[in-house]
Amino acid sequence: MMKPLVSILIPTCNRPVFFEKALKSALNQTYQNTEIIICDNSDNDKTENIVKKYQAGRGGSKIRYVRNKENIGPIANQHKCFRLAKGQYINYLMDDDVFHPEKIARMMNYYLKYKGITLVTSRRRVIDVNGKLLNVPKKYKTFKILYPRDTIVEGKELGNRMLRDNTNYIGEPTTVLFRKKDLDEPLGMMNGRQALFAVDFVSWLNLLSKGNAVYVTKTLSYLRYHPDQLSQSAGAKILSILDAPNILDYAKAKGFLKEKSKKKRKKGKSS
């Protein structure tokens, strides 16, 4: 029996060296039924030439590439990838990050075994420009290990924890696998309003309001830190401040922060 199709979405712009590493990690997934959607905002042919090389190789038929006529911006590019996806399940892969080879397989295992799951995430690690693992100081709570073993946790419980701690424990878009139909608005949309910075945080609340989350303790994705990263830009903190009141209103409308959620936690092992 054919397993469900998973769409790996790579929005990219002028990062050919990092992009190639991201693409290779998508092609090297042990889960076979995938498609790779690439939407390119680049102003040169470097990324397109890399794509053509891999399209001609093993697994190249999985790749669907779209070169935008002009730079439509990162958020619109993410939305375009989502619209083009044919898969029942979605996993974004930012063009400077990489997947563990077993990422999709381990996460899909939970969707295939359990009902009521709307989001699967995992531990992730930080790498530098050369792919070397970095040790993140403990003060950065977002990278802490949430549970000692693979855990299914009630969505509202995890969402409330994130809101009260003002911390995205779930991670960046690269980290999460979700069912496409469960995200009823594009990445970062809040009842028609676009988040300016915390696009992932907003969508995780959307998904957590509908069902349970899974946290996998194994590191299944790697977030690359480098000077050109958008989240490290000077305007990022300003945008996050502007987002805050809108996110709070959205969270309350989705049923968060109203009462303590009853803990419904089960333990499970990923195979």
Number of H helices and number of E strands within the chain?
7, 13
pTM of the model: 0.90
Name which residue leads in pLDDT, 18 or 231: 18
For 228, residues 6+ apart whose C-beta sits below 8 A from its C-beta are: 15
Torsion angle, alpha carbons of 223, 8, 18, 131, to 10? 40
| Token representation of residue 87 | 């898969």
| pLDDT over 90 (residue 220) | yes
Name which residue leads in pLDDT, 271 or 8: 8
| Token representation of residue 140 | 């950065």
| Token representation of residue 30 | 């042990």
Name which residue leads in pLDDT, 218 or 260: 218
pLDDT on residue 231: 54
Summarised one tens digit per residue, pLDDT across range 233-251 is 555 556 667 788 999 999 9
Residue 141: Cβ within 10 Å count = 13
Name which residue leads in pLDDT, 269 or 251: 251
Q: What is the mean pLDDT of residues 218-237?
A: 73
Whether domain 6-267 has CATH 3.90.550.10: yes
DSSP 177: B
pLDDT on residue 261: 45
For 241, residues 6+ apart whose C-beta sits below 8 A from its C-beta are: none
Instruction: State the chain's mean pLDDT as an integer.
Output: 91
Asked if residues 147 and 204 have their Cβ atoms less than 8 Å apart, the reply is no
Choice among 22-31, 128-137, 202-211 with the minimum mean pLDDT: 128-137
pLDDT on residue 226: 73
Q: What is the mean pLDDT of residues 79-101?
A: 98
Choice among 105-114, 189-198, 211-220 with the minimum mean pLDDT: 189-198
Taking the C-alpha atoms of residue 100 and residue 124, their distance in angstroms, rounded to an integer, is: 10
Instruction: Give the domain ranges of the chain.
Output: 6-267
Summarised one tens digit per residue, pLDDT across range 124-155 is 999 999 999 999 888 788 888 999 999 999 99
Taking the C-alpha atoms of residue 15 and residue 105, their distance in angstroms, rounded to an integer, is: 27
pLDDT on residue 140: 82
| pLDDT over 90 (residue 187) | yes
pLDDT on residue 1: 81
* pLDDT band for position 267 (cuts 50, 70, 90): low
* pLDDT band for position 271 (cuts 50, 70, 90): very low
* pLDDT band for position 198 (cuts 50, 70, 90): confident
